[in-house]
A and B are shown apart, each in its own frame.
Chain A
């Protein structure tokens, strides 16, 4: 357990009328710092909030944005919703698999990138859409893919 976590747990609890509501915010905060949620982290969060590890695990496993396995420094989500598919998202996925040398669901050996599918990201006006660490890139094409992998991470919202 990192020393600051108990402070974070206290802050999260204070935000809500009932302490259980602090579970998701605390998981988010710790994952933001650690990159993922290990078994040990699940145990630590449980003890910080007075919950059982089984309970924390059952909650964490419900949500697709909580990572229970290590992920790359950059998590790339390719939207595979219908509107993005109509704008070529399947090609975007293929192109990324090719560029990164991995399949969907995998992480590059150097730990830089994880490539994942996302269900409709509610940005169909920008289709096809990709997120890097949850920052949107819209109207992605082959040239933008290179930028997406290497630029400074500035978000493109429109």
Chain B
């Protein structure tokens, strides 16, 4: 499908990860424009007007978040969340590996807008190549005078540091990320206070996702009105959806919000594998409820997906077909939360353990009719009762699977076996 790219510009410009190529294609022009033509407050207003919402999962309006910083003269920090570890999500990886300068340009503009003097990119430890790309791009930006003292003669100064995590999904949660960045275990903090008031080293801190910040140079270049001309009034602009699972063309797709889910799966991702039927979609990363095929015409915007019983989340869209066992898929996802629970609070630490146990039992044909009630009961003791949102996140797929595919769970019990042969994977010929 022919398409114009604004975020994944690497798709049409080879080697745009290199400074000379990025510059030759208009790179850092948005930074010049921001520094020359706008006061910081005007940029915050522009981002507010654009309606840009956080692309890390929660969809919180970015301009509004920037506006929460208290005006008390304390040193401010900007932190970019590049911990991307929500199963099914891989958009930030493409940006940092293949278009890192757009992120860095966005960081400098966003720091100028929020009056941050120091910025950090918290990069997932497993992204070794991504962190190398970021470090190189940061070095190039210093060499060009886009970072450091008195950037482009504007009087604005900024330092930017790339920080590598070391393997922990919970460090994507913003307060756990800050703990980790301070050299501690990645346990979430009690909120409030929110990072805007007491964040990194106790100072006022803006935390945004990679994709969120990569949108900022585009908005500065094209204007807020252009941005709101796409999507809906409440969900304007562009979003990258990561499609994976049983489709012909897994990959990242940059599309206007409110594009129908059907278009994403059938047109962009090439549709289902030959002879296969869609069974369910997890539209926003592993933490959100399943959607069934009757919801395929749902527009992919925050409000419409919520109305359809799920959430847009990170835009990590996992597609399951009729050859996939729902119990097995659910067990796999819940197991992830068991592995990644930080252990700080009991309902999450113990609950994800029990749910995994019961789900594995069911999948292997060793379940009893009471197990379904046990699952519901444990879920009930996690929901709304955990210290941070990871606990609730472990329930999204499970609770929806029990609701939409209950007979499949029951069949595992009745037949003392997985009716599909415990299948998550089969080649197309067998």
Contact = CB atoms under 8 A, between A and B. Distances in A.
Interface in B336-362: 336, 339-340, 342
A27 B118 CA distance: 23
A18 B244 CA distance: 40
Contact of B126 (A17, A83, A122, A127): A122
Given A120-B87, A125-B244, A88 B183 contact: no
Contacts of A91: 425
A118 interface: yes
Given A63-B166, A64-B166, A65-B167, A122 B425 contact: no
Interface string A48-89: 000000000011001111100000000001001111011111
B165 A63 contact: yes
A92 to B, nearest CB: 10
Given A124-B88, A125-B250, A86 B320 contact: yes
Contact of B90 (A20, A21, A125): A125
A119 B339 contact: yes
Interface in B125-176: 125-129, 161, 163-169
A122 B169 contact: no
Interface residues of B, number: 57
Contacts of A136: 129
Interface size class of A (residues with CB under 8 A): 35 or more
B207 to A, nearest CB: 16
Contacts of A64: 166-168
A119 B340 contact: yes
A23 B183 contact: yes
Nearest to A92: B425
B166 A122 contact: no
A15 B336 contact: no
Contacts of B424: 82, 85-86, 90
A136 B129 CA distance: 9
A122 B183 contact: no
B187 to A, nearest CB: 8
Given A82-B318, A85-B425, A121 B126 contact: yes
Given A85-B425, A124-B250, A136-B129, A20 B183 contact: yes
A134 B161 contact: no
B394 interface: no
Nearest to A85: B424
A90 to B, nearest CB: 7
Contacts of A100: none
Nearest to A61: B185
Closest 7 CB pairs of A and B: A124-B244, A63-B166, A64-B167, A65-B167, A20-B183, A23-B183, A120-B87
Interface of B: 84-90, 92-93, 97-98, 118, 124-129, 161, 163-169, 180-186, 201, 242-246, 250-252, 286, 316, 318, 320, 324, 329, 332-333, 336, 339-340, 342, 424-425, 427
